[in-house]
Amino acid sequence: MLVLMTRTVYLGTSSNWSFHGQILNLVHQHIRKSPLPGADLLFDGSAYDLPWDGTRIVPESNTPVIPSIDYAIFLINAVKFHCAQLVHLFDEDEFMANLHTFYSNAENRAWKGSLWYIHFLLIIAFGKTFVQHKQHAPRPPGADFFVQAMQLLPDTNRLCREPVTACEILCCISLYQQALDSRNAAHVTIGQAMRIALAEGSSHSMLSMILLR
């Protein structure tokens, strides 16, 4: 346990997170002869500053500009290149068919209420993190697309109507949260994906494909 400001944080006894904190504390004690202040450690959800306060309201002024279809395909291919061998984030045939349908009528507001559109925003967010130059900024590349996807995400009842797509979406969210150092949120999100899959009677092989690849 570590008391951080007014909050007690459980690091775990064998996690990389715990090990990292212990090493930093030992080095600080050796050099400064005092324990490392808790405020000097970055804990869950504090590595990046997402432009979102957790509300589900989607201000029109904050809606990110959808890229052209050529650039969208480029970003999707970047996600495939970096992630496809490790995790399953989307079914390529179905996803790309919907992509071309979407761009043929992108003004149709019905898309904004679909799970595919949320899935699309998440994949674009991932693509931007892979192709944009690294920079020391509090906001990660693609954050605006991720935030809009989270604002549009429906409740569990709606997700369960399309369980496979819902699991893919939740896996995308969980992986993005993990990349942002939001471990607790990632753990809860991937747990929701697993439970939706189990509730829908998915086999262990399907669970492995969706959650682990």
Same domain for 173 and 208? Answer: yes
Structural domains of the chain, count: 2
Same domain, 182 and 79: yes
Which tens digit of pLDDT belongs to each residue from 16-45? 666 667 777 788 787 887 777 766 565 555
Higher-pLDDT residue of 198 and 170 is 170
Identify whether residues 9 and 100 lie together within a single domain.
no
In a domain, 55, yes or no: no
User: Are residues 191 and 141 part of one domain?
Assistant: yes
pLDDT of res. 85 = 81
Q: Which pLDDT tens digit goes with each residue over 99-119?
A: 999 998 867 667 877 999 999
Find the domain containing 65 and state its range.
60-212
Q: Is residue 52 a part of any domain in this protein? A: no
33 with 93, same domain: the answer is no
Q: Are residues 66 and 11 in the same domain?
A: no
**In which band, very low, low, confident or very high, does the pLDDT at 174 lie, cut at 50, 70 and 90?**
very high
Residue 157: pLDDT over 70: yes
For residues 109 and 206, state if they share a domain. yes
Q: What is the 3-state secondary structure (H, E, C) of the chain?
A: CEEECCEEECCCCCCHHHHHHHHHHHHHHHHHCCCCCHHHCCCCCCCCCCCCCCCCCCCHHHCCCCCCHHHHHHHHHHHHHHHCCCCCCCCHHHHHHHHHHHHHCCCCHHHHHCHHHHHHHHHHHHHHHHHCCCCCCCCCCCHHHHHHHHHHCCCHHHHCCCHHHHHHHHHHHHHHHHHCCCHHHHHHHHHHHHHHHHHCCCCHHHHHHHHHC
pLDDT the model gives residue 170: 95
> Do 97 and 173 lie in a common domain?
yes
Q: Tens digit of pLDDT for each residue in 60-69?
A: 656 788 999 9
Does 19 share its domain with 107?
no
